[in-house]
Amino acid sequence: MLKDKTILLGITGGIAAYKSAELARLLIKEGAAVQVVMTANAEAFITPLTMRTLTGRPVYSSLFNPSYGSATVHIDLAREPHMVVVAPATANFLGKIAAGIADDLLSTVLLAVNLKERPVILAPSMNTVMFHNAAVRENIELLRKRGYIFADPLAGVLACGDVGEGRMVEPAQLLQLIKDKFPAREDYGGLTVLVTAGPTRELLDPVRFFSNHSSGRMGYALARAARERGARVLLISGPTALEPPPGVEFHPVVSAREMYDVVMDKLFLADVIIKTAAVADYRPEETYSQKIKKGGDLLVRLVRNPDILQELGSRKGNYILVGFAAETENLLNNAHKKLAAKNLDLIVANDLTEEGAGFTYETNKVNLLYRDGHVEELPLMTKYELAHLILERIKIII
């Protein structure tokens, strides 16, 4: 999984430094090359010899050591790795990075790393009072905003006996986070994937709307997975509680008509269009500009919204078109009809009555129906796993 990847592992002076030895071992087991840079304080907790023996590489710690051979070792170290991980990262170290201080090798390397080219993960480790100190909180927020990734510490009993947040994440969790940051495969390089996600909201008045239970999770998982596989991703989403995945071009919309307009505007860019959005089929005929005051019974007339997918199917050019079908009965039959009526290449059929499937879950259980009539029944899996699987299948059609 991490074959051909070089990870720079920075170790600062905290008791959790012993966990970095285990992290280095796990990374090497995954096929990564690990280059260790230690601070002087880290050497009080774990020896360079331990890290050298585990990684099979010399350990760097000094800014000016003639034996390193290069006069610009800090630049070389900053350019070589695919990712930088500092574990543990002490309060002092976070403060230095936030302030741009470069007074030893590791802090200088961090300043020389181009964050746009390689991710930097920081795994804080400190006493809980220190972790909650306003200075440390502000440094962490500032670094997050600048694009550093945090492996947030865990709560528990700390080395000093205090109980609370501050314990460094376990090496296995850190390994998972590192693996998640690397694209599984780059098989979508050069392709543009347009994903619609979430519900739409159809306003009745300034405070009320018609909508549905869509969480947006499936669409966001697809956007994230497509981006990880190297695609340019356009995510057009109705209102959700989710953060857009990093690196996607995000277009927030509210109503079905707004979604229609943005999709039609961006259509010419797309090689693949995946319509996970739960678009409201109807909207109130009239949107009141003032809040409706209660009185007698209220009759609201609903009128049809455009069917975005239908329109995409009828205009179908060079793009692959994938729809979703949310059903509560006759799953395969209804999905087949939608596949044909909307001129799709693939439809993902969702039985909303299945346990663990549908809108509000992290998991999904679906059938994939292809244009040639073939049906693939899939087991329950996370939406993220399903997203990768759908992208794999689409790649075969392309």
Shortest Cβ distance from residue 313 to ligand CTP (Å)? 9
Stretch that binds ligand CTP, among 100-108, 241-249, 271-279, 371-379 (CB under 6 A): 271-279
List 261, 281, 354, 392, residue binding ligand CTP (CB under 6 A): 281
Of residues 211 through 270, those in contact with ligand CTP by CB under 6 A are 256
Please identify, using beta-carbon distances, which residue of 193 and 309 lies nearer to ligand CTP: 309
Member of 307, 354, 385, 392 binding ligand CTP (CB under 6 A) = 307
Q: Considering only residues 42, 279, 369, 394, which one is a binding residue for ligand CTP as defined by CB under 6 A?
A: 279
**Residue 170 contacts ligand CTP per CB under 6 A:** no
State which residue, 46 or 309, has the beta carbon closest to ligand CTP.
309
> Alpha helices of 100-210 — where are they, by DSSP H?
105-112, 128-132, 134-146, 171-180
Instruction: Give the number of other CB atoms < 10 A from CB of residue 18.
Output: 15
In Å, how far are 170, 178, 253, 342 from 174, measured between CA atoms?
A: 6, 6, 35, 44
Tokens read off for 271: 């090689």
Let me know: does 183 contact 230? Beta carbons within 8 Å. Answer: yes
Known catalytic residue: 160?
yes
Pairwise CA distance, residues 398 & 394, whole Å = 6
Nearer to ligand CTP (CB atom), residue 145 or residue 301: 301
- Using DSSP, state whether 307 is helix, strand or coil: coil
Per-residue binder mask for ligand CTP (CB under 6 A), 335-364, x = binder: ---x--------------------------
Helix (H), strand (E) counts: the chain:
13, 21
Q: Out of 129, 160, 163, 300, which one is annotated catalytic?
A: 160
323 contributes a contact to ligand CTP by CB under 6 A? yes
Say how many C-beta atoms besides its own lie within 10 A of residue 71's C-beta: 10
On whether the CB atoms of residues 85 and 149 are closer than 8 A, the answer is no
Using CB under 6 A, list all residues that contact ligand CTP: 256, 275, 277, 279, 281, 305, 307-309, 323-326, 338
The catalytic site residues sit at 160
